[in-house]
Amino acid sequence: MYKFWIIGLVLAMLEDLCSSVKIQKITVPSVVVMDYNLNLSERPNLSAPEFLLDCDFDMEENESGLVIKWLLNNQAIYQWIPPRLPTALSLLKNRIRKNFTVSDDPMKKYRGLAVTKPMLNFSGNYTCSVQTFQSSDKKTSHLQIIVPESHFKLNYRTDFDSMVQIKCSAFNVYPEPKLSLNINNVELKSDVKLVKDSRDGLFDVKVVAKYPKNSLKSETIINCQLTIPDTNYTKIQETVYYEQEPTSSDPDSDEEADLVLSLETETGLLTNQHTKDHSASSSKPFTIVFFECYMILFFTIFVTKLC
Protein backbone atom coordinates (compact mmCIF):
# COMPACT_ATOMS: atom_id res chain seq x y z
CA MET A 1 0.00 0.00 0.00
CA TYR A 2 2.77 2.47 0.99
CA LYS A 3 4.23 2.08 -2.51
CA PHE A 4 1.27 3.95 -3.93
CA TRP A 5 1.81 6.78 -1.45
CA ILE A 6 5.39 7.09 -2.55
CA ILE A 7 4.46 7.08 -6.23
CA GLY A 8 1.80 9.71 -5.52
CA LEU A 9 4.30 11.86 -3.66
CA VAL A 10 6.84 11.64 -6.48
CA LEU A 11 4.18 12.52 -9.05
CA ALA A 12 3.07 15.51 -6.97
CA MET A 13 6.70 16.72 -6.75
CA LEU A 14 7.18 16.27 -10.49
CA GLU A 15 3.97 18.18 -11.09
CA ASP A 16 5.33 21.11 -9.07
CA LEU A 17 8.68 21.06 -10.83
CA CYS A 18 7.61 20.40 -14.38
CA SER A 19 4.19 21.78 -15.15
CA SER A 20 3.41 24.83 -13.11
CA VAL A 21 1.92 26.67 -16.11
CA LYS A 22 -1.16 24.91 -17.36
CA ILE A 23 -3.60 25.90 -20.09
CA GLN A 24 -7.05 24.97 -18.84
CA LYS A 25 -9.00 25.83 -21.95
CA ILE A 26 -8.35 27.29 -25.38
CA THR A 27 -11.27 28.93 -27.16
CA VAL A 28 -11.18 29.07 -30.97
CA PRO A 29 -14.36 29.07 -33.06
CA SER A 30 -14.35 25.97 -35.27
CA VAL A 31 -16.10 27.81 -38.10
CA VAL A 32 -16.29 31.50 -39.10
CA VAL A 33 -18.71 32.30 -41.91
CA MET A 34 -17.83 35.12 -44.28
CA ASP A 35 -20.51 36.72 -46.34
CA TYR A 36 -20.99 39.23 -49.08
CA ASN A 37 -21.76 42.53 -47.45
CA LEU A 38 -25.08 43.89 -48.53
CA ASN A 39 -24.31 47.55 -48.96
CA LEU A 40 -25.49 48.21 -52.50
CA SER A 41 -24.03 51.68 -52.69
CA GLU A 42 -20.51 50.26 -52.89
CA ARG A 43 -18.89 47.34 -54.66
CA PRO A 44 -19.86 44.28 -52.65
CA ASN A 45 -17.07 42.39 -50.98
CA LEU A 46 -16.58 39.56 -48.56
CA SER A 47 -16.56 40.25 -44.88
CA ALA A 48 -17.00 38.44 -41.61
CA PRO A 49 -17.78 39.54 -38.06
CA GLU A 50 -14.92 39.64 -35.57
CA PHE A 51 -14.19 36.46 -33.67
CA LEU A 52 -12.64 35.85 -30.26
CA LEU A 53 -9.70 33.72 -29.23
CA ASP A 54 -9.06 32.93 -25.59
CA CYS A 55 -6.52 30.95 -23.65
CA ASP A 56 -7.38 30.31 -20.01
CA PHE A 57 -4.30 29.27 -18.04
CA ASP A 58 -3.11 28.86 -14.46
CA MET A 59 0.35 29.58 -13.14
CA GLU A 60 2.13 29.58 -9.80
CA GLU A 61 2.57 33.00 -8.24
CA ASN A 62 6.30 32.59 -7.88
CA GLU A 63 6.85 31.99 -11.58
CA SER A 64 8.34 34.79 -13.61
CA GLY A 65 9.00 35.82 -17.18
CA LEU A 66 5.49 35.22 -18.52
CA VAL A 67 5.15 35.33 -22.32
CA ILE A 68 1.88 34.56 -24.09
CA LYS A 69 1.89 33.89 -27.81
CA TRP A 70 -0.66 32.93 -30.41
CA LEU A 71 0.46 31.13 -33.54
CA LEU A 72 -1.40 30.36 -36.75
CA ASN A 73 0.00 27.27 -38.49
CA ASN A 74 3.11 27.60 -36.32
CA GLN A 75 3.72 31.21 -37.30
CA ALA A 76 3.58 33.84 -34.54
CA ILE A 77 0.65 36.24 -34.97
CA TYR A 78 0.39 37.75 -31.48
CA GLN A 79 2.60 38.23 -28.48
CA TRP A 80 2.07 39.61 -25.01
CA ILE A 81 4.72 40.11 -22.36
CA PRO A 82 3.03 41.60 -19.29
CA PRO A 83 2.98 44.34 -18.18
CA ARG A 84 3.59 45.70 -21.68
CA LEU A 85 0.86 46.06 -24.30
CA PRO A 86 0.36 43.13 -26.69
CA THR A 87 1.66 43.14 -30.27
CA ALA A 88 -0.18 41.79 -33.30
CA LEU A 89 2.16 40.30 -35.91
CA SER A 90 2.00 39.11 -39.51
CA LEU A 91 -1.60 38.43 -40.63
CA LEU A 92 -3.05 40.00 -37.49
CA LYS A 93 -1.32 43.35 -37.93
CA ASN A 94 -4.07 46.00 -37.75
CA ARG A 95 -6.65 43.27 -37.39
CA ILE A 96 -7.21 43.00 -33.67
CA ARG A 97 -9.54 45.13 -31.59
CA LYS A 98 -7.47 47.54 -29.51
CA ASN A 99 -7.83 47.31 -25.74
CA PHE A 100 -9.84 44.11 -25.85
CA THR A 101 -9.42 42.40 -22.49
CA VAL A 102 -10.74 39.11 -21.14
CA SER A 103 -9.96 39.69 -17.48
CA ASP A 104 -8.88 42.40 -15.04
CA ASP A 105 -6.03 40.26 -13.73
CA PRO A 106 -2.86 42.06 -14.90
CA MET A 107 -1.29 38.69 -15.76
CA LYS A 108 -4.28 37.54 -17.84
CA LYS A 109 -5.77 40.71 -19.28
CA TYR A 110 -4.53 40.33 -22.83
CA ARG A 111 -4.29 36.53 -23.06
CA GLY A 112 -7.19 36.54 -25.56
CA LEU A 113 -7.93 38.71 -28.56
CA ALA A 114 -10.72 39.91 -30.81
CA VAL A 115 -9.81 39.36 -34.46
CA THR A 116 -11.39 41.85 -36.83
CA LYS A 117 -11.82 41.70 -40.61
CA PRO A 118 -10.75 38.06 -41.08
CA MET A 119 -9.73 36.86 -44.55
CA LEU A 120 -9.78 33.42 -46.20
CA ASN A 121 -6.23 32.68 -45.10
CA PHE A 122 -7.20 33.07 -41.42
CA SER A 123 -8.19 29.38 -41.61
CA GLY A 124 -5.86 26.98 -39.85
CA ASN A 125 -4.46 25.68 -36.60
CA TYR A 126 -4.38 28.27 -33.83
CA THR A 127 -1.95 27.56 -31.03
CA CYS A 128 -1.81 29.33 -27.68
CA SER A 129 1.59 29.09 -26.09
CA VAL A 130 2.23 30.17 -22.48
CA GLN A 131 5.78 30.25 -21.15
CA THR A 132 7.55 31.31 -17.98
CA PHE A 133 11.20 30.93 -17.09
CA GLN A 134 10.17 27.80 -15.17
CA SER A 135 7.71 26.04 -17.45
CA SER A 136 5.51 26.17 -20.53
CA ASP A 137 2.35 24.76 -22.03
CA LYS A 138 0.51 24.99 -25.34
CA LYS A 139 -2.75 23.95 -26.92
CA THR A 140 -4.01 23.99 -30.52
CA SER A 141 -7.42 24.18 -32.13
CA HIS A 142 -8.56 24.43 -35.75
CA LEU A 143 -10.55 27.26 -37.29
CA GLN A 144 -12.19 27.08 -40.72
CA ILE A 145 -13.30 30.17 -42.62
CA ILE A 146 -16.32 29.42 -44.81
CA VAL A 147 -17.83 31.35 -47.71
CA PRO A 148 -21.34 30.03 -48.45
CA GLU A 149 -22.16 29.44 -52.11
CA SER A 150 -23.67 32.38 -54.02
CA HIS A 151 -25.60 29.99 -56.32
CA PHE A 152 -26.58 26.38 -56.08
CA LYS A 153 -28.41 24.81 -59.03
CA LEU A 154 -29.77 21.39 -59.82
CA ASN A 155 -31.43 20.36 -63.08
CA TYR A 156 -31.84 17.49 -65.48
CA ARG A 157 -32.25 16.97 -69.20
CA THR A 158 -33.67 13.98 -71.01
CA ASP A 159 -32.53 14.65 -74.57
CA PHE A 160 -29.55 12.30 -74.49
CA ASP A 161 -29.93 8.85 -76.08
CA SER A 162 -32.32 7.40 -73.51
CA MET A 163 -30.20 8.78 -70.72
CA VAL A 164 -31.17 11.45 -68.23
CA GLN A 165 -28.41 13.92 -67.65
CA ILE A 166 -28.41 15.38 -64.14
CA LYS A 167 -26.33 18.40 -63.35
CA CYS A 168 -25.60 20.15 -60.08
CA SER A 169 -23.38 23.19 -59.62
CA ALA A 170 -22.33 25.51 -56.84
CA PHE A 171 -20.51 28.80 -57.26
CA ASN A 172 -18.17 30.96 -55.18
CA VAL A 173 -17.64 28.64 -52.23
CA TYR A 174 -14.72 28.39 -49.81
CA PRO A 175 -13.10 26.01 -49.08
CA GLU A 176 -13.56 23.44 -51.83
CA PRO A 177 -16.96 21.78 -51.27
CA LYS A 178 -18.08 18.27 -52.10
CA LEU A 179 -21.19 17.71 -54.22
CA SER A 180 -23.07 14.45 -54.30
CA LEU A 181 -26.03 13.50 -56.48
CA ASN A 182 -28.64 11.22 -55.02
CA ILE A 183 -31.63 9.43 -56.47
CA ASN A 184 -34.08 8.25 -53.82
CA ASN A 185 -31.34 8.96 -51.33
CA VAL A 186 -28.88 6.61 -53.01
CA GLU A 187 -25.70 8.35 -54.12
CA LEU A 188 -24.81 8.15 -57.81
CA LYS A 189 -21.23 6.95 -57.69
CA SER A 190 -20.39 6.31 -61.31
CA ASP A 191 -20.12 8.82 -64.08
CA VAL A 192 -19.82 11.85 -61.87
CA LYS A 193 -17.80 14.60 -63.44
CA LEU A 194 -16.06 17.12 -61.26
CA VAL A 195 -15.21 20.51 -62.66
CA LYS A 196 -13.28 22.86 -60.46
CA ASP A 197 -12.54 26.48 -60.90
CA SER A 198 -10.89 28.80 -58.50
CA ARG A 199 -10.97 32.58 -58.69
CA ASP A 200 -10.01 34.87 -55.83
CA GLY A 201 -9.60 31.71 -53.78
CA LEU A 202 -13.27 30.78 -54.21
CA PHE A 203 -14.42 27.54 -55.82
CA ASP A 204 -16.98 26.60 -58.45
CA VAL A 205 -17.88 22.93 -58.52
CA LYS A 206 -20.08 20.97 -60.90
CA VAL A 207 -21.07 17.32 -61.02
CA VAL A 208 -22.80 15.71 -63.98
CA ALA A 209 -24.23 12.21 -64.03
CA LYS A 210 -26.08 10.19 -66.63
CA TYR A 211 -28.75 7.78 -65.62
CA PRO A 212 -30.73 5.35 -67.84
CA LYS A 213 -34.13 6.83 -68.51
CA ASN A 214 -35.93 3.49 -68.29
CA SER A 215 -34.71 2.86 -64.75
CA LEU A 216 -35.99 6.22 -63.56
CA LYS A 217 -39.66 6.34 -62.59
CA SER A 218 -41.65 9.48 -63.00
CA GLU A 219 -41.81 11.65 -59.87
CA THR A 220 -38.52 10.36 -58.57
CA ILE A 221 -36.82 12.74 -56.18
CA ILE A 222 -33.35 13.79 -57.22
CA ASN A 223 -31.24 15.74 -54.81
CA CYS A 224 -27.84 17.32 -54.69
CA GLN A 225 -25.99 17.72 -51.44
CA LEU A 226 -23.26 20.25 -50.88
CA THR A 227 -20.94 19.74 -47.94
CA ILE A 228 -17.79 21.40 -46.75
CA PRO A 229 -15.43 18.71 -45.42
CA ASP A 230 -14.69 18.71 -41.67
CA THR A 231 -17.53 21.09 -40.93
CA ASN A 232 -21.26 20.86 -40.35
CA TYR A 233 -21.94 22.99 -43.40
CA THR A 234 -24.52 21.23 -45.59
CA LYS A 235 -27.02 22.47 -48.19
CA ILE A 236 -29.48 20.47 -50.26
CA GLN A 237 -31.18 21.18 -53.58
CA GLU A 238 -34.01 18.96 -54.62
CA THR A 239 -35.93 18.42 -57.82
CA VAL A 240 -38.56 15.94 -58.96
CA TYR A 241 -38.03 13.94 -62.14
CA TYR A 242 -41.02 13.78 -64.48
CA GLU A 243 -40.95 11.49 -67.46
CA GLN A 244 -42.65 13.95 -69.80
CA GLU A 245 -40.39 16.84 -68.88
CA PRO A 246 -40.20 19.23 -71.87
CA THR A 247 -36.67 19.51 -73.22
CA SER A 248 -36.51 22.94 -74.76
CA SER A 249 -33.18 24.14 -73.41
CA ASP A 250 -30.17 23.62 -75.61
CA PRO A 251 -26.90 22.61 -74.00
CA ASP A 252 -24.87 25.60 -75.17
CA SER A 253 -27.04 28.25 -73.59
CA ASP A 254 -26.88 26.37 -70.31
CA GLU A 255 -23.10 26.31 -70.38
CA GLU A 256 -23.03 30.00 -71.16
CA ALA A 257 -25.28 30.77 -68.23
CA ASP A 258 -22.81 28.99 -65.94
CA LEU A 259 -19.92 30.97 -67.30
CA VAL A 260 -21.77 34.24 -66.89
CA LEU A 261 -22.62 33.36 -63.31
CA SER A 262 -19.07 32.63 -62.35
CA LEU A 263 -17.61 35.72 -63.98
CA GLU A 264 -20.07 38.27 -62.75
CA THR A 265 -19.54 40.70 -59.98
CA GLU A 266 -21.90 40.34 -57.10
CA THR A 267 -23.86 43.43 -58.10
CA GLY A 268 -24.54 41.79 -61.42
CA LEU A 269 -25.41 38.57 -59.70
CA LEU A 270 -28.36 40.14 -57.98
CA THR A 271 -30.23 41.11 -61.12
CA ASN A 272 -29.02 38.06 -63.00
CA GLN A 273 -30.20 35.72 -60.26
CA HIS A 274 -33.53 37.44 -60.39
CA THR A 275 -34.11 36.92 -64.09
CA LYS A 276 -32.58 33.46 -64.05
CA ASP A 277 -34.96 32.25 -61.37
CA HIS A 278 -37.79 33.63 -63.40
CA SER A 279 -36.85 31.74 -66.51
CA ALA A 280 -36.05 28.65 -64.48
CA SER A 281 -39.45 28.64 -62.87
CA SER A 282 -41.27 29.07 -66.18
CA SER A 283 -39.35 26.41 -68.13
CA LYS A 284 -38.94 24.03 -65.21
CA PRO A 285 -42.09 24.28 -63.12
CA PHE A 286 -41.25 21.28 -61.00
CA THR A 287 -37.96 22.43 -59.65
CA ILE A 288 -38.10 22.92 -55.94
CA VAL A 289 -35.61 25.50 -54.88
CA PHE A 290 -34.55 25.97 -51.29
CA PHE A 291 -33.33 29.50 -50.93
CA GLU A 292 -30.87 30.14 -48.17
CA CYS A 293 -31.88 32.75 -45.63
CA TYR A 294 -29.18 35.15 -46.68
CA MET A 295 -30.48 35.18 -50.23
CA ILE A 296 -33.87 36.27 -48.96
CA LEU A 297 -32.18 38.96 -46.91
CA PHE A 298 -30.30 39.97 -50.05
CA PHE A 299 -33.55 40.49 -51.93
CA THR A 300 -35.31 42.22 -49.07
CA ILE A 301 -32.56 44.80 -48.85
CA PHE A 302 -32.42 45.06 -52.61
CA VAL A 303 -36.14 45.77 -52.77
CA THR A 304 -36.15 48.23 -49.87
CA LYS A 305 -33.27 50.11 -51.50
CA LEU A 306 -35.36 50.43 -54.65
CA CYS A 307 -38.22 52.06 -52.79
Ligand X SMILES: *[C@@H]1O[C@H](CO)[C@@H](O)[C@H](O)[C@H]1NC(C)=O
Measured CA to CA in angstroms, residue 54 lies from 74, 158, 176, 218, 254 at distances of 17, 55, 28, 55, 49
Closest to ligand X by CB, 30 vs 247, is 30
Write out the binding residues for ligand X, residues 68-127 only, by CB under 6 A.
73, 91, 98-99, 119, 121, 124-125
Judged by CB under 6 A, which stretch of 39-47, 102-110, 171-179, 182-190 contacts ligand X? Answer: 39-47
| Among the listed residues 10, 14, 49, 60, the single contact to ligand X using CB under 6 A | 60
Q: Which of 224, 229, 227, 198 is nearest to 209 (CA)?
A: 224
Closest to ligand X by CB, 87 vs 287, is 87
Q: Considering the complex, what minimum distance in angstroms separates the CB of residue 214 from ligand X?
A: 41
Q: Considering the complex, what minimum distance in angstroms separates the CB of residue 110 from ligand X?
A: 10
Write out the binding residues for ligand X, residues 125-184 only, by CB under 6 A.
125, 134, 142
Do the strands 178-183 and 186-187 form a parallel or antiparallel pair, or are they unpaired?
antiparallel
Write out the binding residues for ligand X, residues 217-246 only, by CB under 6 A.
231-232
Q: How many residues bind ligand X (CB under 6 A)?
A: 23
Contact status: 249 vs ligand X (CB under 6 A): no
Measured CA to CA in angstroms, residue 269 lies from 265, 277, 294 at distances of 6, 12, 14
Q: Which of 265, 235, 33 is nearest to 152 (CA)?
A: 235
Closest to ligand X by CB, 62 vs 214, is 62
**Rounded CA separation 204/150 (Å):** 10
Judged by CB under 6 A, which stretch of 31-39, 106-114, 160-168, 183-191 contacts ligand X? Answer: 31-39
Return the H-helix or E-strand segment holding 205: strand 202-212
Q: Which of 157, 190, 197, 195 is nearest to 173 (CA)?
A: 197
Give the bridge partners for 27, in sequence order: 54
Q: Considering the complex, what minimum distance in angstroms separates the CB of residue 25 from ligand X?
A: 15
Q: Considering the complex, what minimum distance in angstroms separates the CB of residue 102 from ligand X?
A: 15
In angstroms, the first-to-last Cα distance of the chain is: 83
Contact status: 41 vs ligand X (CB under 6 A): yes
Q: Which of 59, 53, 58 is nearest to 88 (CA)?
A: 53
What is the strand order of the sheet 287-288 is part of? 186-187, 178-183, 220-227, 234-241, 287-288
Closest to ligand X by CB, 39 vs 271, is 39
| Among the listed residues 22, 23, 35, 47, the single contact to ligand X using CB under 6 A | 47
* Residues at the site binding ligand X, with contacts judged by CB under 6 A: 16, 30-31, 37, 39, 41-42, 45, 47, 60, 62, 73, 91, 98-99, 119, 121, 124-125, 134, 142, 231-232
